[in-house]
Amino acid sequence: MMDAKPDPSYIMQTATAFWASKVLLTAVELDLFSTVGEGAMTASQLGEALGLHPRGTYDFFDALVALKFLESVTDVGGALALLSRIIATQHQHLTFNSFDLPEVAPHAQRQIDTAGMADRIKVVEGDFFKDHLPKADVVTMGNILHDWNLEKKKVLIEKADDALPEGGAFIAIENLIDDARRENAFGLLMSLNPDQRGYRL
């Protein structure tokens, strides 16, 4: 009698088990729990107190929430124009807009300037729930939609559609996370590890 085939999900959970321990040990090393204490802090306040780079701050805290080590505050997303820079390297004829929150935009601009791509990649500051997205032939959102409930997901998708011409394309790069951001620890850890949060045009 042949043994049953191994469960692929179990294999993946075992193979990536160190992700969760790494997140927890990093939090301990940063003295995160003593910093928060019995009070409450926003993600920005906690990130600043710990001296964290904003690029991975929100996925880091959300992963700790999903792992039941923290209780969550509100978060926002941002980007460092990584996708734009990668594609720009391979396709010299393309130009890009990178849409970021105002506090993240300077970090993206430094990365763009360092790459020598300031003439092809423009940083546009704004809030994607309040502002229109810049017009473009292709709109991409990388690990953004999973942060929001269905209603807000639809708002973002509609904004992307409004920014596109007829025949344009919307590309979503996602590992979906539950609306409450409390159950799918694997999804949050997957989001935290590649650390490609944000959306680019």
Is 132 exposed, middle or buried, given 0-12, 13-18 or 19+ CB atoms closer than 10 A? exposed
Residue type at position 104? V
- Which of 191, 200, 197 shows the shortest CA–CA distance to 117? 200
Nearest to 79 by CA among 198, 185, 200: 198
List 185's β-bridge partners, or say none.
none
Model confidence over 113-123: pLDDT tens digits? Answer: 999 999 888 88
49 touches 96 (CB < 8 A): no
Residue 185, CB half-sphere, CA atoms under 13 Å: how many?
16
Which helix (H) or strand (E) segment holds residue 124: the answer is strand 121-125
Of 105, 104, 87, nearest to 96 by C-alpha is: 87
Instruction: Give 82-183+191-200's CATH code, choosing from 3.90.105.10, 1.10.3720.10, 3.40.50.10860, 3.40.50.150.
Output: 3.40.50.150
Query: How far is residue 80 CA from its own chain's centroid?
Result: 10
Q: Which of 90, 96, 176, 93 is nearest to 136 (CA)?
A: 96
d(CA 195, CA 192) in angstroms, rounded, equals 5
Average pLDDT, the chain: 77
pLDDT for residue 71: 61
Q: CA-CA distance, 21 to 16, in Å (whole number)? A: 10
pLDDT of 196 > 60? The answer is no
Q: Where in the chain is the domain with CATH 3.40.50.150?
A: 82-183+191-200
Q: How confident is the model over 30-85, as pLDDT tens digits?
A: 888 888 776 666 667 778 888 887 767 767 877 787 777 776 562 223 467 878 88
**Count, residues in the chain:** 201
- Residue-wise pLDDT tens digits, 132-167: 888 888 888 877 887 677 899 899 999 999 988 888
| CA distance readout (Å), 91 to 81, 85, 94, 188 | 15, 10, 6, 31
- Tokens 């160190």 label which residue? 18
* High-pLDDT (> 90) share of the chain, %: 6
pTM: 0.52
| Residue 181 burial by Cβ neighbours in a 10 Å radius (0-12, 13-18, 19+) | buried
pLDDT at residue 101 is higher than 90: no
Active site residues: 146
CA distance 18 to 20: 6
